[in-house]
Amino acid sequence: MPVIHFGRSALLVAVFSVAQQAAADTCIAPVRPYLPEDQQSVREYADLLRQDFELYVLDVSQYFRCLDQERARAFEEAQEVTADYQRLMEVTGQ
């Protein structure tokens, strides 16, 4: 099997791509808050439950922003890859 040597710029591109993927993996959906079935428990723990629900609303909003940012990043990357592919086809005469 032949050994392939990459230049420094190719290595930087590979490292940057891995870093981008790691950043993309940070959009973690929040855990749905628990609401007890029985009304007595709901009344007894109302303050804690309310806090859980309010925290969920904040977290899910942040999650949506993260997904929107990741979608924008992926769309831009797809445009760049398409341009690179077109350049490849032009250089190879295909």
pLDDT in tens, 11-31: 455 555 555 555 556 899 999
User: Does 22 fall in a domain?
Assistant: no
Note the pLDDT of residue 4: 55
Domains in the chain, number: 1
| CA distances from residue 73 to 3, 22, 35, 65, 66 in whole angstroms, order as listed | 33, 13, 36, 12, 10
User: Does 63 fall in a domain?
Assistant: yes
User: Does 78 fall in a domain?
Assistant: yes
Note the pLDDT of residue 8: 59
Note the pLDDT of residue 74: 97
User: Does 45 fall in a domain?
Assistant: yes
Note the pLDDT of residue 11: 47
Expressed as residue numbers, the domain containing 66 is 29-92
| CA distances from residue 46 to 38, 51, 54, 80 in whole angstroms, order as listed | 12, 9, 12, 51
User: Does 11 fall in a domain?
Assistant: no
- CA torsion sign for 82, 83, 85, 89 is positive
User: Does 38 fall in a domain?
Assistant: yes
User: Does 86 fall in a domain?
Assistant: yes
User: Does 76 fall in a domain?
Assistant: yes
Extract the residue ranges of the chain whose pLDDT is less than 50.
Answer: 1, 11
